[in-house]
């Protein structure tokens, strides 16, 4: 693990998070996102009492929860020694680690693209096992390369897979709700047909 994730060191975080005009994410951006996801969980009736932040990096999402949702249990993890030491995370590689408990909300930003196909598939299974309610997932795909990704703010040392690769694996455990949100099938949350990102994966409620 050390060799694989060793490049996510201080230089990496300085380049992609703390320097330049186009950081990958800022604390303000993540705060907006966390607020939106939190509100949608409330809309769906998912009571968020626990959060798992996978590949937490600078810890922006964890910090938002601690500031704005006192009493919510947050577990933040990362596979980088530097990130764990600097931003106070638990060192875990989600492709090899399956949490012993499930969480109401699981957050996974920009992790799966750094794993091999076998590791990413294992990570999805572990994430599914850990998600009791809602998953927020951000991962760039092959289709995003020329249309979405900003060359000046993107680490291209990653594996860009077709979106269908992810859909076929995530669809075994989740219903896609759009905007990076996936509802665990075991959550019991029902969507109207047009609420989901893919109508064939959604079920109407009555």
Q: What is the pLDDT of residues 109-159, one digit of tens each?
A: 989 999 999 999 999 999 999 999 999 999 999 888 778 765 555 556 789
Q: What is the pLDDT of residues 156-191, one digit of tens each?
A: 678 999 999 999 999 999 999 999 999 999 999 999
Whole-angstrom Cα distance, residue 114 to residue 98?
A: 18
Percent of the chain predicted with pLDDT > 90: 72
Whole-angstrom Cα distance, residue 100 to residue 92?
A: 13
Handedness of CA 176, 180, 183, 185 (dihedral sign): positive
pTM: 0.86
CA distance from start to end of the chain: 48
- What is the per-residue pLDDT for 147? 80
Q: Which domains does the chain have, with CATH numbers?
A: 2-201 (3.40.50.150)
pLDDT surpassing 70 at residue 2: no
Give strand ranges (E) for the chain.
50-54, 73-78, 90-91, 103-109, 131-138, 174-178, 181-184
- What is the per-residue pLDDT for 113? 93
Q: Which two tokens stand for residue 80?
A: 């980088």
Segment holding 122, helix H or strand E: helix 117-130
């Amino acid at each position: 693990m050390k060799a694989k994730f060793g490049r996510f060191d201080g230089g990496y975080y300085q380049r992609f998070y703390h320097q330049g005009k186009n950081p990958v994410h800022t604390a303000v951006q993540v705060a907006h996102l966390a607020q939106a996801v939190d509100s949608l969980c409330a809309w769906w009736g998912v009571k968020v009492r626990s959060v798992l932040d996978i590949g937490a990096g600078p810890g922006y999402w964890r910090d938002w929860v601690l500031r704005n949702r006192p009493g919510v249990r947050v577990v933040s993890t990362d596979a980088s020694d530097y990130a764990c030491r600097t931003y106070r995370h638990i060192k875990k590689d989600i492709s090899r680690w399956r949490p012993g408990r499930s969480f109401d909300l699981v957050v996974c930003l920009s992790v799966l693209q750094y794993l091999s196909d076998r590791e990413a598939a294992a990570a999805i299974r572990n994430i599914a096992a850990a998600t009791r309610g809602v998953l927020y997932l951000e991962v760039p795909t092959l289709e995003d390369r020329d249309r979405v990704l900003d060359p000046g703010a993107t680490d291209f040392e990653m594996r860009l897979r077709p979106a269908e690769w992810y859909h076929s694996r995530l669809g075994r455990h989740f219903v896609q709700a759009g905007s990076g949100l996936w509802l665990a099938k075991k959550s019991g949350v029902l969507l109207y047909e047009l609420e989901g990102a893919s109508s064939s994966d959604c079920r109407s409620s009555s």
